[in-house]
Amino acid sequence: MAGSQINVRKLAELGVLQDVGKCIVYLRAHGLLSRQQTCPKCGSVMEEKVWASAKVDGLAWRCPARACRKIVSIRKGSFFEKSHLDLRQLVTLMYFWTLDVCQDVIMAEASISKTVCVDWCNFLREICTQDLLSRPNVIGGVGHIVAIDESLVARRKRGSNAQARPIREQWVFGGVDLQTKYDLKLLHIIWLTNSCTGSVFWN
């Protein structure tokens, strides 16, 4: 979302947060919902139909073959498939999650419960983690300046409780390429394996 500089005003202008149909168009344009569907029963190309039974979305894929008439959700194959939340709520949730705001804000803006919010935030984090680990992201390059910083996210306790289980200290490093503004916030081992030789590092 950062690349297209999307914000709430633009989402509102596009009607994404008001109109579920426009929300579906938006999600399809960004590859988050499929634009076509093959019938899982007979292999025919399915047609999109207004479908009252699809209470949340109002649309469904229907197989045109008379002997089949299979109906599937427009969410089939997407990561919204298992959710019953309104797609507008899900866009709101994802948008505020990308802003790194606290979960109370996400809950209020998306009108969702704490349990749903925690589950989705964990789910989105997991998707990003898997994507990051599956691609050899590279920051820096010859002549590029990479600013880095570190943070201790788990500190060994110095309390008086002798029974307390010792916590392994965990350092996290982040880096941003000042030319490309491409940043990585990840464990140092990933950063070390993906930074490009020839970069200048600031710390």
Around Cβ 58, how many Cβ atoms within 10 Å?
14
Residue placing its CB nearer to Zn ion in the complex, 43 or 198: 43
**Interface with Zn ion by CB under 5 A: which range of 59-67, 85-93, 99-107, 123-131?**
59-67
Residue placing its CB nearer to Zn ion in the complex, 68 or 94: 68
CA distance 163 to 176: 41
Q: Give the contact letters, 60-99, x = binds to Zn ion (CB under 5 A), - = no.
A: ---x-x--x-x-----------------------------
Q: For residue 176, which amino acid is it?
A: V
Q: What long-range pairs does 79-87 form, CB within 8 A, spacing at least 24?
A: 79/32, 79/123, 79/127, 80/32, 80/33, 83/120, 84/56, 85/56, 85/112, 85/116, 86/20, 86/56, 87/20, 87/23, 87/24, 87/27, 87/56, 87/57
Residue placing its CB nearer to Zn ion in the complex, 70 or 188: 70
Q: Least Å distance between CB 61 and Zn ion?
A: 10
**Interface with Zn ion by CB under 5 A: which range of 37-45, 91-99, 108-116, 127-135?**
37-45
Q: Least Å distance between CB 55 and Zn ion?
A: 23
Residues that bind Zn ion (CB under 5 A): 39, 41-42, 44, 63, 65, 68, 70
